[in-house]
Amino acid sequence: MKKYLGPLSKDNPILVQILGVCSALAVTAQMKPAVVMALSVTVVCACSNFIISLMRNTIPPRIRIIVQLLVVSFFVILVDQVLQAVLYDVSKMLSVFVGLIITNCIIMGRLEAFALSHKPFPSFMDGVMNGLGYGLVLVIVSFFRELLGSGTLWNHPVIPQSMYNAGYLNNGLMILPPMALILVGTLIWIKNAKLGKAK
């Protein structure tokens, strides 16, 4: 199990490989859509890895990208339909970003780098762990953006009214996309600093 834990730390898709940053900027203003997006990417990545791994010996190299896109598209549509049926409000908040999972570089990267050359179970686990590594960053970023930008967590107020009465103001900059980029950059800096000390 330990060999699959890389994406949660030393090989994190966003902090190390710098993949999937666009959606990290777009869906992290609140925690709820960030968590749903993280779970959606995890499901699509794991299932796509598993199916492509099953088919890896039968896919002609010339059309492998097309086959990968078809498999990923199938699972993205499935996830999108489930979200619309079960979490319609979150689905509306995520808007086109669920559909854009199809072109998420994390998923395509894992299909190319791992699923095409490994057996189904390791490929499935690789997809799960990369999705969770991606989701971990989304949750951290959305936590600070929602808390400092809106004074809420999961849409529930957490900052006492007494603080507002004393003059506290929410930081409106935190809910703007550039702040997500700054927070991701800060996380990358912290990670690199830790790696530097470890060496």
Give CA separation, 116 vs 10, 68, 188, in Å. Answer: 23, 10, 29
| pTM check: above 0.85 | yes
Q: Which domain holds residue 174?
A: 2-195
- The count of structural domains within the chain is 1
The yes-or-no verdict on residue 51 having pLDDT over 60 is yes
Nearest-angstrom CA–CA distance, 108 and 69: 8
Write down the pLDDT at residue 172. Answer: 87
- How do residues 5-31 score in pLDDT, each as one tens digit? 777 777 888 888 888 787 777 788 899
pLDDT, average across residues 54-78: 93
- How do residues 154-170 score in pLDDT, each as one tens digit? 989 998 888 888 888 99
Write down the pLDDT at residue 199. Answer: 56
Please give the structure tokens belonging to residue 136: 């971990």
Residue 41 burial (CB < 10 Å; 0-12/13-18/19+)? buried
Three-class HEC string of 33-95: HHHHHHHHHHHHHHHHHHHHHHHCCCCCHHHHHHHHHHHHHHHHHHHHHHHHHHCHHHHHHHH
